[in-house]
Amino acid sequence: MEITFLGTGAGLPSKSRNVSAIALHLLQEENQIWLFDCGEATQHQILHTSIKPRKINKIFITHLHGDHIFGLPGLLSSRSFQGGDDAVTIYGPQGLRDYIVTALRISKSHLNYPITIKEIKDGTVIKEDNYTIYVKELDHGIPSFGYRIVEKDSPGELLVDKLQAKGIPAGPLYGKIKSNEYINTKDYGILYRKDFLGPDKPGKIITIMGDTRYQESFTSFVERSDVLIYEATFNAEQEDLAFQYFHSTTKQAATLAKEGNVKQLIMTHISSRYQLADYEDLLKEAREVFRDTELANDFYHHQIR
């Protein structure tokens, strides 16, 4: 699994940061891509990456502010001209359906692929073959949501020593044992996978939060995330301003990461008031609370290990 930040700014695009969009690459799922938010000019940002719009098969919208959705009609329309004919499912708050349908209808845009729009609420659970996505409502003045993506556990390592102790030589049989709950063999009888595998490997957890004020109650939602992506619109000194505008600070992002016992925090949604010279200070503020913190810039690419 990999993450590409297509837009990391807050509210307005700037010369160095476009508005919000994050791509999650599911490499084991035929290189499918899930897109989280789609601010203005997201399709332009994609042109600077190796992402193919036809690979985007799910889009998750955190909330309906323009810097998170104004690029959606354009991306959906352009996808028709870029070899995209597979279905797309779009998740987001109530009102998302009206927005998409109206934009496409008035612009007389025709999509050559089907779309399904599913409006979410607090507590929604989305189940996929290898993933479960949990939804939590945040605190942003309008309905805004976080998505916790939990990968299914995978089978543990094959215990070769146990197989050899039973006299089973290396070969195709090893793969069959790992791929099936049990197999019935002529020479060795019934072999159960559970007898020859180590503990399951826990799936990855990625939590992507929409715009929000900081709340201690979010801790259980982000707990044990391998990666927490959280907004840091303001620096630590502007906590009052962050509260007034329903946003969070660098220090609050780091505090949530620390309290949630996450492995890594990546801060995004940075106000345009901060320039390149300020980024080191923003990162320092967060790392004083939670060391494993990164500050995302546009096109920052992160591999989840």
140 assigned ligand-binding residue: yes
Structure tokens at 16: 């160095």
Please tell me whether residue 293 adopts helix, strand or coil conformation: strand
Annotated ligand binding at 302? The verdict is: no
Does the annotation mark 67 as catalytic? yes
The three-state DSSP-derived secondary structure of 99-114 is HHHHHHHHCCCCCCCC
Catalytic residue among 37, 67, 226, 298: 67
Task: Say which DSSP state 10 is in.
Answer: S
Label residues 107-120 b or e (16+ Cβ within 10 Å = b).
eeeeeeeeeebebb
Residues 1/206, Cβ–Cβ less than 8 Å: yes
Which stretches does DSSP call E strand in 61-114? 88-92
Q: Are 231 and 212 in contact (CB under 8 A)?
A: yes
Is there a binding annotation on residue 63? yes
82 phi, psi to nearest 5 deg: -120, 30
Residues making up the annotated binding site for Zn(2+) are 63, 65, 67-68, 140, 211, 269
| Active site (catalytic) residues | 67
Enumerate the known binding-site residues.
63, 65, 67-68, 140, 211, 269
